[in-house]
Amino acid sequence: MDAGINHFVFISAVVFVLGVYTAVTHKKLIRVLLGIVLMLMAPIINFAALSGIKTFNPEGQIIIFTISGICLVLLITGSLLALNYFKNSDSAEIEGEFDA
């Protein structure tokens, strides 16, 4: 069975929905950051699928690596912010932090 473009778009949509669900429903800061990273990684699946439709497309591969690098920087920055948050507070939950 040959995996067409529809399969990759479906997998990308599932990854994005899982990221939204994780970011919205969890209270732990690390899990919220993980959900955001999942939402940022979903378009990479689409770029990879679309860059290989007809022939090898180096521009698509450059975009994929650039976005992957940006996601990696965002993940490292978020992890450092979460580590700083854990050091300054007693809890890993973010529920009561944003109440007015």
The tens digit of pLDDT for each residue in 2-38 reads 677 888 889 899 999 999 999 899 887 778 888 888 8
What pLDDT, on a 0 to 100 scale, did the predictor assign at position 2?
60
Q: Which two tokens stand for residue 33?
A: 């950051």
User: Read out DSSP for 23-72?
Assistant: HHH--BHHHHHHHHHHHHHHHHHHHHHHHTSSS--HHHHHHHHHHHHHHH
What pLDDT, on a 0 to 100 scale, did the predictor assign at position 94?
64
Looking at this protein, which amino acid is placed at residue 36? I
Q: How many domains does the chain have?
A: 1
Q: Rounded CA gap, 79 and 88, in Å? A: 14
Torsion of the alpha carbons at 60, 61, 64 and 65, rounded to the nearest 10: -150
Angle at 91 between CA 28 and CA 36, to 5 degrees: 20
> Pick from 19, 34, 100, 83: which is nearest to 92 by CA?
83
CATH code of 71's domain = 1.10.287.3510
Q: Determine the distance from the C-alpha atom of residue 87 to the mean position of all C-alpha atoms in its chain, rounded to a whole number.
A: 25
Q: Give residue 57's domain range.
A: 5-96
What pLDDT, on a 0 to 100 scale, did the predictor assign at position 17?
95
Summarize pLDDT for 60-95 with one digit per residue, the tens: 778 778 878 887 887 788 778 777 877 777 666 666
What pLDDT, on a 0 to 100 scale, did the predictor assign at position 97?
55
